[in-house]
């Protein structure tokens, strides 16, 4: 032991360039970003393949084997232009076979007898192994005299095969000793995680699949810990840098409003959210809260409470929405909810006339306007508030960090100056989202926000009877049910997943990139929500295989129903391809009751509230995501009448069954998560699910919880990461997220 060579990590060696001659391989490596030893070591295998024994190889099957060379020789090929073949006799503990290498005569010299090799290829009918990729396997877990181990499999590209990467990896294996360790020994012990270099070694050179998983978990933990630290540090920085105006006087206006103006009592969830918000507004620490609740759960009511708290302190409040239509709707709701209270309010969007805009800006600057609702227009540089104290941001995932910062910049000037950054007070911010996502995903995506959830729907809202409609006779009965409601004076929705029956002739050929794109998320009326891809289905796919699936496009369905099953009734058509004017006319005709049935694509998801509509029939329901179906269903059951949702689709579809069984959007979001793989999930983008390289959600949910707890503990004791056990963690943070992420937190 004493004679063992002591080696100190030498991280600079990780920056050494890879020793690869110019050519296809070097180009391929560069394309993968693998230009240094360190980068190569961080290039993780996607999975590992169990190596086969020679005896277990079957003709025609692609496989990996770990063998040793017995004899090897080049053999000329008679056909012109072909380089000599190299034939080798190779063996492992179970047997011997012949292996053929093509086009690489030099291998006869390089792989001398005794060399251990990893071969990937296919056994021919005559029992020869045709080698597609090969690498020296001396250092691999697999050993010809052992049972075969696991062979790492890498994301490869033009010019670089997985096996070539493996060969290079073996060449730099010693450099693993130079890999820096970001997690303290104490943390590794209590989390039961290996050190970083062992984790990398286990991934690149696994003996078993479990090895690889242990290594992956360690790396995933670190990745999750770093992202949580970034979130928490961002929050801490904002708190430390900017104070907010403490809204701590007794409630006057807000209380009167809750008691007298609101025509209903708050639900338990609303009450809890209001209580939490009241407390947070009373602090000089700027609030950063996310209010999650599906459409109709009463978020706007809670938001308005927060805004009125600002108003009753003689301060201002703003509500920012991602689209003009949403801003207009919010403004209408706010005006209706405020009732008789004299609160000067205005709407500011991109289409506000110049004269009116100037007037509004003047009144915001003077403080005459207490409450403003609008779009991005609210954060334009020339918009100045006299004293903005509360800002509400709807569908916050549509706004970036920079826009949030712009909002902070609209805070009130600190009287007398001398205050923190910019001498401004940060507004308290309430974010709202109608996409309920499970806790773990919220942590991954919104780890810098505190979360309130509105589960309960307001009282008086009825359970919506939901049924699956399968087969022609069931469809007949469904139309009969629709007609019965229409005869009783109610209204109905028919929802279809596509706009038109065929692609317009000029439409671009939907390539694979289109096909793999996830559906847009939480799209407002301006952006049509396409049916989100179910397993194996996609927008483009839906176009291609329509004849099989029997898609009923909205336009065709509108025409068909108008002449057929619903010919006695007034129908309107609504889809994303219509002009805004036409859309508004269609919606207005339905809202006023002039039209009985709205045949639509998912544009109705947001923005139409018709209490008299009691039936919804969804065509090809299995093509929609669960969250989307849930949002669609929320369009009915808004009035006093019993409502029904009819889902046309295969009775066995799990998503449809979940819709029948559950009404809670959060529960459905969880099921959605289970049913979908990463990347297909509705809400992926805003929940930040696909931001990770190693971690994989939702599977790593428990690991994420652990990382979050760790991050919180670190922030509680050593937020600046100055302690000796955290210094390297800080460096890893700066390395992964750039120096901004590691900006100091002001004391
Ligand atoms: P969201 O913003 O979450 O979509 P809103 O705040 O706009 O929901 O509320 C949806 C509808 O429900 C509105 O018409 C609102 O007046 C009503 N509402 C909200 N809270 C309650 C409640 N506690 N009881 C009865 N109706 C309510
Ligand atoms: Mg609302």
pLDDT tens string 400-445: 667 777 888 887 666 544 444 446 788 999 999 887 777 777 888 7
**H helix intervals, 374-468:** 401-408, 439-446
What is the pLDDT at residue 397? 66
Q: Is the distance from the beta carbon of residue 326 to the nearest atom of ligand 1 less than 6 Å?
A: no
- Closest listed residue to residue 588, CA positions, set 569, 601, 607, 602: 607
pLDDT band at 243 (very low <50, low <70, confident <90, very high): confident
- Closest listed residue to residue 533, CA positions, set 546, 550, 516, 547: 516
Q: Of the bound ligands, which one is closest to the alpha carbon of residue 302?
A: 1
pLDDT at 605 over 50: no
Q: Is the distance from the beta carbon of residue 301 to the nearest atom of ligand 1 less than 6 Å?
A: yes
- Closest listed residue to residue 567, CA positions, set 456, 652, 483: 483
How many angstroms is it from 96 CA to the middle of ligand 1?
75
Q: Pairing between strand 428-433 and 371-374?
A: unpaired
pLDDT at 457 over 70: yes
Each residue's pLDDT tens digit, 330-341: 999 899 888 878
β-strand partners of 90:
69, 97
Each residue's pLDDT tens digit, 202-223: 999 888 888 889 999 999 999 9
pLDDT band at 224 (very low <50, low <70, confident <90, very high): very high
Tell me what the mean pLDDT of segment 322-351 comes to: 89
Nearest ligand 1 atom to alpha carbon 300: 6
pLDDT at 502 over 80: no
Considering only CA atoms, which residue is closest to atom 21 of ligand 1?
A: 458
Assess contact for 147 and 53: CB atoms under 8 A. yes
Report the percent of the chain where pLDDT is more than 70.
83
Q: Of the bound ligands, which one is closest to the alpha carbon of residue 336?
A: 1
Q: How far apart are CA 495 and CA 552, in angstroms?
A: 9
Q: Is the distance from the beta carbon of residue 332 to the nearest atom of ligand 1 less than 6 Å?
A: no
What is the pLDDT at residue 131? 92
What is the pLDDT at residue 532? 35
Can you read off the two tokens belonging to residue 681?
């999930």
Can you read off the two tokens belonging to residue 638?
């808004």
What is the pLDDT at residue 739? 66
Residue spans of beta strands (DSSP E) within 237-315: 288-292
Mean pLDDT of the chain: 81
Q: How far apart are CA 317 and CA 319, in angstroms?
A: 7
Rg (CA), the chain: 31
The full 3-state SS of 675-725, as one line of letters, equals: HCCCCCCCCHHHHCHHHCCCCCCCCCHHHHHHHHHHHHHHHHHCCCCCCCC
Each residue's pLDDT tens digit, 306-315: 999 999 999 9
What per-residue string of b and e applies to 641-656 under the rule 16 or more CB within 10 Å gives b? bebbbbbbbeeebebb
More confident residue, 680 or 46: 46
What is the pLDDT at residue 646? 97
What is the pLDDT at residue 551? 43
Q: How far apart are CA 453 and CA 432, in angstroms?
A: 10
β-strand partners of 316:
388
- Collect all residues with Cβ–Cβ distance below 8 Å to 263 and sequence separation of at least 6: none
Whole-structure pTM over 0.95, yes or no? no
């Amino acid at each position: 032991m004493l004679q063992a060579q002591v080696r100190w990590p030498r991280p600079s060696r990780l920056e050494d360039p890879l020793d690869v001659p110019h050519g296809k391989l070097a180009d391929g490596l560069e394309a993968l970003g693998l230009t240094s030893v360190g980068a190569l070591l961080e290039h993780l295998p996607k999975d590992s393949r169990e190596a086969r024994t020679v005896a277990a190889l079957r003709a025609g099957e692609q496989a990996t084997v770990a063998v040793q060379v017995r004899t090897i020789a080049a053999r000329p090929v008679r056909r012109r232009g072909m380089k000599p073949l190299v034939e080798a006799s190779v063996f492992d503990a179970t047997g011997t076979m012949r292996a053929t290498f093509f086009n690489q005569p030099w291998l006869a010299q390089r792989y001398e007898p005794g060399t251990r090799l990893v071969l990937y290829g296919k056994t021919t009918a005559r029992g020869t192994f045709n080698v597609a990729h090969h690498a020296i396997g001396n250092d691999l877990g697999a050993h010809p005299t052992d049972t075969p181990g696991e062979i790492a499999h890498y994301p490869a590209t033009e010019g670089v095969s997985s096996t070539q990467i493996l060969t290079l990896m073996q060449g730099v294996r010693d450099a693993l000793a130079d890999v820096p360790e970001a997690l303290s020994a104490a943390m590794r012990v209590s989390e039961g995680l290996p050190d970083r270099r062992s984790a990398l070694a286990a991934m690149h050179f696994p003996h078993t699949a479990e090895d690889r998983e242990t290594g992956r978990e360690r790396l995933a933990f670190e990745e999750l810990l770093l992202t949580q630290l970034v979130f928490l540090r961002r929050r801490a920085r904002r708190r430390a840098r900017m104070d907010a105006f403490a809204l701590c006087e007794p409630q006057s206006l807000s209380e009167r409003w809750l008691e007298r103006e609101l025509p209903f009592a708050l639900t338990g969830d609303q009450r809890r959210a209001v209580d939490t918000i009241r407390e947070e507004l009373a602090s000089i620490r700027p609030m950063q809260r996310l209010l999650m609740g599906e459409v109709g759960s009463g978020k706007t009511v809670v938001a308005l409470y927060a805004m009125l708290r600002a108003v009753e302190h003689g301060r201002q409040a703003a509500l920012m929405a991602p689209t003009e239509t949403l801003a207009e709707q919010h403004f209408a709701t706010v005006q209706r909810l405020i009732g008789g209270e004299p609160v000067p309010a205005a709407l500011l969007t991109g289409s506000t006339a110049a004269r009116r805009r100037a007037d509004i800006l003047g009144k915001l600057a003077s403080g005459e306007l207490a409450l403003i609702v609008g779009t991005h227009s609210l954060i334009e540089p020339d918009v100045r508030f006299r004293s903005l104290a509360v800002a509400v941001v709807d569908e916050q995932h549509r706004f970036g960090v920079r826009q949030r910062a712009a909002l902070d910049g609209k805070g009130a000037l600190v009287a007398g100056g001398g205050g923190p950054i910019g001498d401004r007070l940060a507004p308290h911010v309430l974010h709202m989202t109608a996409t309920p996502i499970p806790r773990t995903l919220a942590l991954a995506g919104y780890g810098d926000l505190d979360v309130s959830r509105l589960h309960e729907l307001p009282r008086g809202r009825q359970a919506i009877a939901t049924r699956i409609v399968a087969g022609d006779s069931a469809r007949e009965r469904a139309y009969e049910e629709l007609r019965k409601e229409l005869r009783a004076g109610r209204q109905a929705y028919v929802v279809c997943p596509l706009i038109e029956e065929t692609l317009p002739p000029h439409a671009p050929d939907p390539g694979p990139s289109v096909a793999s794109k996830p559906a847009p998320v939480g799209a407002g009326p301006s952006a049509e929500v396409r049916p989100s891809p179910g397993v194996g289905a996609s927008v483009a796919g839906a176009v291609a295989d329509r004849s099989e699936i029997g898609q009923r496009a909205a336009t065709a369905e509108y025409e068909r129903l108008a002449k057929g099953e619903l010919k006695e009734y007034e129908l309107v058509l609504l889809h994303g391809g219509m002009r805004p004017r036409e859309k508004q006319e269609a919606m207005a005709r339905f809202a006023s009751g002039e039209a009985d049935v709205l045949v639509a694509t998912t544009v109705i998801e947001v923005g139409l509230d018709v209490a008299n509509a009691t039936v919804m029939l969804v065509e090809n329901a299995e093509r929609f995501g669960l969250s989307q179906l849930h949002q669609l269903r929320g369009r009915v059951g808004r009035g006093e009448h019993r409502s029904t949702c009819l889902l046309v689709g295969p009775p066995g579809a799990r998503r449809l069954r979940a819709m029948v069984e559950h009404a809670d959007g959060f529960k459905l979001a969880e099921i959605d998560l289970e049913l979908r793989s990463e990347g297909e999930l509705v809400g992926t983008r805003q929940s930040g699910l696909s931001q990770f390289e190693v971690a994989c959600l939702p599977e790593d949910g428990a690991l994420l919880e652990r990382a979050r707890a760790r991050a919180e503990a670190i922030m509680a004791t050593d937020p600046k990461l100055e302690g000796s056990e955290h210094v390297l963690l800080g460096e890893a943070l700066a390395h992964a997220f750039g120096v901004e992420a590691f900006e100091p937190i002001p004391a």
